[in-house]
Amino acid sequence: MSTLAIGISKNDTFSLLLGAGCSINSDIPSAEDCIWEWKRDIYKTNNSSSFGWVDNYKNPKTQEIIQNWLNNQGTYPERESKEEYSFYAYKCYPIDEHRRQYFQKTCSGKKPSIGYKTIPLLARKGMLDSVWTTNLDDLVVTACVGNGIQPIEIALDSVQRLISRSQNRSELPVIKLHGDFKYGNLKNTEAELLNQDKIFRERLIEYVQDKHLIVVGYSGRDVSLMDALKEAYSKQGGGILYWCGYGDNVNSDVSDLLQLANKSGRRAFYIPTDGFDSTLRKITQIVVEEDDNLKKELFELHQISNTKETITPFDLKTERVNKLLKSNIFQISFPDEVFVFDAPINNKPWKFVKERVLTRNDISAVPYNKQIWAFGRLDIIKDVFKDVITGDIQRKPLANVKIYDTAISSLLLTTIRKILAQQNNLKTDFKDKIWTENNPKTISNETVYNAIRLSFDRISGEYYLSINPDFVLANPNVEKTTIQTIGLSFFHKLWNKEFNEYVNRWREVLLKNNNEYEFPVDSGCGFKFKIKGTPVFTNICDLNNPFASNHNIPNHHLLLQGVQFKEAPLLFSTNNGNRTATDTHPMRGLLSNKPYETGVSDFLEKTISLGIISPLQDASVFYQFLENQNTKIRKHNDKDSYIIDYEGFFTTYGVSLSFPTPNDSEWEIINEPQITGIRETAQQIKQLICDSIVKINSTTHRKIIVIYIPQRWELYTSYQIDGESFDLHDYLYNAPQNLDKNKGGGKGLSL
């Protein structure tokens, strides 16, 4: 069911239930964002040495580090559990007033997005009867004021309004289920949320008995509210439930509610949407289509919204063009439609589909939301999946392609690889690469084939196919360290000119016809990709060059523009430490001057003394690596203008680097662990290292200990097993030893 079906019943009365997702476009953080902000604050409070990186708590790597630390404490709820929001809200703000102040700061002064601005239009049309919201902000109220609707705010302190007054057409009750930050009495903690006001609960159940409820932007996190909805939709009634979720993924709580409603004889539907603003805008467009005045107001909202959406944080109107960038991306368009059918595969659906179609050139398919999406001849699809197809096979429009969705991207890329490899007699692994076995190279005694890796990009609403150099080994069983060495040699030779020539050779092979590419090849099925044979060019304004220059590239190939900014000057200390100096090159700046701290710190020592912990079999290799730090090393390629010679540790940094030999007492040799299970082996390694830290700390003056972790131990440096997580680096970093601990990865020191 789509949002169009909601708007058709224009004579019915609806209520809205809004969640935190509705306010994201109004610059109010979602519940998920709040949780990560609180986790970040807890981490910073307990790790005083954490740096600025932790402030970027939306970064997946930052989240991983914070979550691993929380897991290791053993007192925090599991990630994505229902308890997280209330737990962390109380953990960070145990005092009610402080919690209220936090939400006041978060919500105050925000402007409603277009979705909120359509609410008074729906209310004036008579379609909208009330708004129930778990949000603490005033966006609904702000949108209504001055737009023909009087909002009646009903919060915890005014709950009697729900039963003590009648409602007229120009009023819209706005029921704040979790309270209002302006007046206190918020509900954020578990105890508060589990005790929703009895009147709220009873009134909601009564409301949805005969009125249709549209839920938008709400994930179902609140147990008490979900229990109220389950109670409501387990009773008889004519009110329909429309749960508008973001995308096609339905969480288990919502799915359980919908199933309960349908089993109880109620009608309840999940509607995948593009978000709150898009959903409300589409509904309003249908509802007001016969009202010229409201249509005009909606059009004006569209105009204002579109104007705001085109504003960018910086202006890329180039002052001049003095560089031209030739890219490795090619404009692409996808087939208009795809075959889709229901196929309930409960056990490893990706493996099931790949085993049947991955290496075939007459069909491509992926599992997607309990369905299978496929390109190919209809009779072949029926034959391949005859044992799992339920219902009809339909042609579905492939509009608004989500190339960053794993399933959709995999289907499109695999199909393109099959077409290009088959048409040009090339090899492919159907997953990442296409290669030729002509003109192989020999690197590190291994046979290396020239290959390319294909990927997608989307820029300003247009789709592009990216062709990137890569390689394939004739022997698939080469060790990882050897592959890394081969990769360094292979890619090191691909400078700008060589990179362009490499991509151009492949372009001439793959895209020589500059036309349509059908799948299956020459089948007449109508699944056609269009790939332009000429790459995209970009006009560049180099701010380092004050002059403009001309080129003869046609405008229809100049699809992008960019700016090359000046290198940021880095601060250094002069040799006498009295003043600062600048240089855009970090190593050259160190050689010409001294580290910045030389001029601002009076406690810097003249020597850095290291204590070392390593396994016996790695000691000599690691010792040689450390020796090289005190040795002058010439750069590998004289043509490389950015890389400069390494002049040795003392010459570069102005301090000496001192370290023991493997036979000294300050070089602690640790035994190989007895390999058993991952958890047991990881704990052995942890204990071996901790014992060595204590020994060095008690017998030497070394302030910095370097721990060498060989690559063969990498599997045992972290694990997540049966709800228990462990990370060796995080454990050692937080160990209660008065030492600086640095972990050197064996894979980064392989020579």
Q: Would you state the torsion angle of the CA atoms of residues 643, 644, 646, 651, taken in this order, to the nearest 10 degrees? A: -130
- For residue 222, name the pLDDT band (cuts at 50, 70, 90): confident
Q: Cα 144 vs. chain centroid, distance in angstroms?
A: 35
**Cβ–Cβ under 8 Å, residues 104 and 147:** no
pLDDT category, 259, cuts 50, 70, 90?
Answer: very high
Q: Specify the pLDDT at position 155.
A: 78
Tokens at residue 657, please?
Answer: 């680097």
Q: How many CB atoms lie within 10 A of CB 100?
A: 21
Token pair recorded at residue 702: 């070394």
Counting beta carbons within 10 angstroms of the beta carbon of residue 360, is it exposed (0 to 12), middle (13 to 18) or buried (19 or more)?
Answer: middle
Going from the C-alpha of 209 to that of each of 128, 327, 561, the distances in angstroms are 15, 59, 57
Q: Are residues 546 and 634 in the same domain?
A: no
* Residue 160 included in any domain: yes
Q: Are residues 665 and 554 in the same domain?
A: no
Report residue 156 as tokens. 């915890």
Q: Would you state the structure tokens that stand for residue 284, as one six-digit string?
A: 């309003």
* pLDDT, tens digit, 9 for 90 and up, residues 95-118: 878 887 888 888 888 899 999 999
Long-range contacts of residues 225-232, Cβ cutoff 8 Å, at least 24 apart: 225/134, 225/177, 225/196, 226/253, 226/257, 228/196, 228/200, 228/201, 228/204, 229/204, 229/257, 230/256, 230/257, 230/260, 231/201, 231/205, 232/204, 232/205, 232/208
**Is 216 in the same domain as 285?**
yes
- 303 has pLDDT over 90: no
The residue ranking higher by pLDDT, 146 or 306, is 146
Give residue-wise pLDDT tens across range 34-76. 899 999 999 888 887 666 678 888 888 888 889 988 888 888 8
Report strand pairing: 371-376 vs 337-342. Answer: antiparallel
Among 270, 269, 393, 391, smallest CA distance to 338 is for: 393
- Which of 413, 421, 362, 353 shows the shortest CA–CA distance to 387? 353
Let me know if residue 579 belongs to a domain.
Answer: no
| Predicted local confidence at residue 10, as pLDDT | 63
User: Is residue 172 situated within a structural domain?
Assistant: yes
CB atoms within 10 A of CB 286: 16
Mean pLDDT of 595-613: 75
**CATH number for the domain harbouring residue 687:** 3.40.50
Spatial separation of the C-alpha atoms in residues 70 and 72, rounded to whole Å: 5
Residue 201 tokens read as: 């609960």
Residue with more model confidence, 738 or 334: 334
Structure tokens at 115: 């979705």
Residue 258's φ and ψ, nearest 5 degrees, are: -65, -40
Contact yes or no for 537/324 (Cβ under 8 A): yes
Average pLDDT over residues 134-155: 89
CB–CB of 14/127 below 8 Å? yes
Domain boundary among 52, 76, 107: 107
On whether both 373 and 327 belong to a single domain, the answer is no
Q: Are residues 232 and 259 in the same domain?
A: yes
Question: What confidence tier does 551 reach under pLDDT thresholds 50, 70, 90?
Answer: confident
**Domain annotation covers residue 581:** no
Write out the E strands in 188-326.
Answer: 212-216, 241-246, 268-273, 323-326
What does the CA dihedral 423, 425, 427, 431 come to, rounded to 10 degrees? 10
pLDDT score of 206: 84
Q: Is residue 590 part of a domain?
A: no
Could you tell me if 19 and 226 are in contact, meaning their C-beta atoms sit under 8 angstroms apart? no
Structure-model confidence comparison of residues 263 and 495, the more confident one:
263
Last residue of a domain, one of 78, 107, 136: 107
335 DSSP 8-state letter: -
pLDDT band at 604 (very low <50, low <70, confident <90, very high): low
Per-residue pLDDT band for 208 (boundaries 50, 70, 90) equals confident
3-state SS class at 175? strand
- My answer on whether 90 and 120 are in the same domain is no
- Is pTM beyond 0.75? Reply is no
**663 three-state secondary structure:** coil
Beta carbons of 650 and 656 less than 8 angstroms apart: yes
Longest dimension (CA), the chain: 90
The count of structural domains within the chain is 5
- Reduced to 3 states, what is the DSSP secondary structure of residue 91? helix
Q: What whole-number distance in Å separates Cα of residue 246 and Cα of residue 607?
A: 58
pLDDT for 746 equals 37
**Among 382, 397, 412, where does a domain finish?**
397
| pLDDT on residue 306 | 59
- In Å, how far from its chain's centre is CA 238? 41
198 by Cβ neighbours in 10 Å (0-12 / 13-18 / 19+) ranks as exposed
Do 252 and 270 share a domain, yes or no? yes
Residue 59's domain comprises 30-107
Please tell me whether residues 444 and 555 are part of one structural domain: yes
What does the pLDDT read at residue 670?
94
The one-letter code for the residue type at 78 is: E
Residues 455 and 553 in one domain: yes
What's the CA gap between 608 and 650, in Å, rounded? Answer: 10
Q: Are 225 and 246 within one domain? A: yes
Q: Is residue 13 part of a domain?
A: yes
For residue 520, cis peptide bond before it (omega within 30 degrees of 0): yes
Whether the per-residue pLDDT at 187 is higher than 60: the answer is no
The pLDDT tens digits of the residues spanning 353-392 come to: 999 999 999 999 999 878 999 999 999 999 999 999 998 9
Query: Which CATH number is 7's domain given?
Result: 3.40.50.1220
Q: Does residue 669 register a pLDDT over 70?
A: yes
Task: Please state, in angstroms and rounded to a whole number, the distance separating the CA atoms of residues 170 and 179.
Answer: 24
Query: What DSSP string describes 470-502?
Result: EEEESSTT--HHHHHHHHHHHHHT--HHHHHHH
Average pLDDT of 683-689? 92
The closest alpha carbon to 132, from 221, 201, 210, belongs to: 201
Alpha carbon 683 to chain centroid, angstroms: 32
Q: Is residue 572 part of a domain?
A: no
Residue 545 is predicted with a pLDDT of 83
Please count the residues of the chain. Answer: 751
What pLDDT shows up at residue 513?
Answer: 65
- Tokens 């997540």 label which residue? 720
Task: Find the Cα–Cα–Cα–Cα dihedral 423, 426, 428, 434, rounded to 10°.
Answer: -100
**pLDDT tens, 691-700?**
998 888 887 6
Res. 196: pLDDT tops 50: no
* Pairing verdict, β 527-531 and 329-333: antiparallel
How high is the pLDDT of residue 648? 93
Task: Please report whether residue 709 resides in a domain.
Answer: yes
- The model's pLDDT over 500-528, given as tens digits with 9 standing for 90+, comes to 999 999 999 998 766 789 999 988 888 99
529 Cβ partners below 8 Å, 6+ apart? 332, 333, 334, 335, 415, 416, 419, 516, 517, 518, 519
Number of Cβ within 10 Å of residue 666's Cβ equals: 19
Element (H, E) at 391: strand 390-397
479 with 557, same domain: the answer is yes
Mean pLDDT of the chain: 84
Pairwise pLDDT comparison (177 vs 4), residue with the higher score: 177
Looking at the structure, tell me whether residues 448 and 541 fall in a common domain: yes
Q: If you search the block for the tokens 């180039």, which residue do you land on?
A: 318
